[in-house]
């Protein structure tokens, strides 16, 4: 770059993210999701009053990457742990960051009831349609026909049931104010995801109720694809079962174009 022109940094590492390399696979959506959450916390200026609960899953070590207070929860119980924290510190921002097994399998009861109670908590839900950390078993969100180590030959509706749409199930609860599903694929999708996450935190700051952002995320390793193909697969296949968009919005916020 030429030395005469002054340059302003417009994109760098957010303060809410520690400056360490992550252990995530090449092409994994977690790193992008972490960055988006961190950017939102920075922009809202709430890093110093945020307490997070990571999942059990690939992101179990999220406390090594996120630069704010965190406490580990048993698998699936993050939203119950978050409820306990929020009741002690109602003035702080409490969030969970969970995968599909954590939020929609073992944690289903804790998820539904925290949402139903309208806890002022923000849940970031990473849906990659597979169990990553344990090596590729079927998730509740695995698509029909999709291969998994515990559904060899592909998910069969008679044997394994249909993929679950927990976001739409939660939208039925009156305590839930905002649910949106986004994807971590193209830059445009990623920017939309960031807007959704920021709005979800704003819901908590405005004491409106429970908010959740579902992020369709690639898992090249367990889908046995290249990162590029994985990112395409999210866009072309996953959204057939999990269409993107706002699932519930009773915030009353005006959408800025």
User: By the criterion CB under 8 A, which residues form the site for another protein?
Assistant: 1, 5-14, 17, 21-22, 24, 26-32, 35, 47-51, 53, 60, 63-64, 66-74, 77, 80-89, 92-93, 109-110, 112-113, 117, 186-187, 190-191, 227-228, 231
Of the two residues 113 and 160, which places its CB atom closer to another protein in the complex? 113
Q: Which residues are CB-neighbours of 73 under 8 A, at least 6 positions away? A: 53, 54, 55, 56, 80, 81, 82, 96
User: Which is nearer to another protein, 30 or 248 (by Cβ)?
Assistant: 30
| Residue 133 or 246 having the CB closest to another protein | 133
**Minimal distance, residue 117 CB to another protein, in Å:** 8
Nearer to another protein, 41 or 238 (CB): 41
CB of 155 to another protein, least distance (A): 27
Q: How far is the CB of 137 from another protein (least distance, A)?
A: 20
What are residue 97's DSSP bridge partners? 124
- Comparing CB distances to another protein, the nearer of 224 and 228 is 228
Rounded to 10 deg, the angle between the 78-88 and 108-116 helix axes is: 40
CA end-to-end span of the chain, whole Å?
Answer: 33
Residue among 191 and 224 whose Cβ is closer to another protein: 191
Contacts of residue 110, defined as CB under 8 A and 6 or more positions apart, other chains included, come to 76, 77, 78, 79, 80
In the complex, the smallest distance separating the C-beta of residue 110 from another protein, rounded to whole angstroms, is 5
Minimum CB separation of residue 208 from another protein in Å reads 20
The torsion angle over the Cα atoms of residues 246, 97, 129 and 233, rounded to 10 degrees, is: 70
For 72-86, give the secondary structure using H, E and C: CCCCCCHHHHHHHHH
Report which DSSP code applies to 15. Answer: T
- Nearest residue (CB) to another protein, 72 versus 249: 72
Least separation in angstroms between CB 244 and another protein:
17
Minimum CB distance to another protein, residue 156 (Å):
30
Pairing of strands 50-53, 210-216: unpaired
- CA–CA dist 170, 7 (Å, integer): 46
């Amino acid at each position: 770059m030429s030395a005469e022109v002054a340059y302003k940094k417009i994109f760098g590492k957010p303060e809410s993210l520690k400056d360490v390399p992550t252990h995530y696979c090449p092409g994994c959506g977690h790193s992008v999701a972490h960055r988006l959450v961190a950017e939102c916390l920075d922009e809202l200026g709430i890093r110093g009053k945020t307490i997070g609960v990571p999942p059990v899953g690939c992101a179990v070590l999220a406390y090594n990457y996120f630069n704010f207070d965190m406490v580990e929860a048993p698998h699936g119980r993050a939203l119950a742990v978050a409820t306990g924290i929020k009741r002690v510190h109602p003035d702080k921002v409490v969030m969970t960051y969970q995968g599909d097994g954590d939020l929609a399998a073992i944690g289903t009861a804790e998820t539904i009831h925290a949402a139903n109670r309208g806890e002022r908590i923000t849940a970031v839900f990473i849906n990659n349609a597979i169990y990553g950390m344990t090596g590729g078993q079927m998730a509740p969100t695995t698509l029909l026909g999709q291969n998994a180590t515990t559904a060899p030959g592909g998910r069969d509706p008679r044997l394994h049931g249909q993929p679950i749409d927990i976001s739409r199930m939660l939208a039925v609860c009156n305590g839930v104010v905002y649910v949106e599903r986004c994807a971590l694929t193209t830059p445009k999708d990623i920017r939309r995801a960031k807007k959704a996450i920021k709005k979800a935190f704003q819901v908590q700051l405005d004491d409106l109720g429970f908010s959740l952002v579902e992020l369709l995320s690639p898992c090249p390793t367990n889908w046995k694809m290249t990162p590029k193909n994985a990112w395409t697969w999210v866009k072309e296949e996953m959204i057939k079962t999990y269409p993107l968009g706002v699932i519930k919005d009773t915030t009353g916020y005006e959408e800025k174009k």
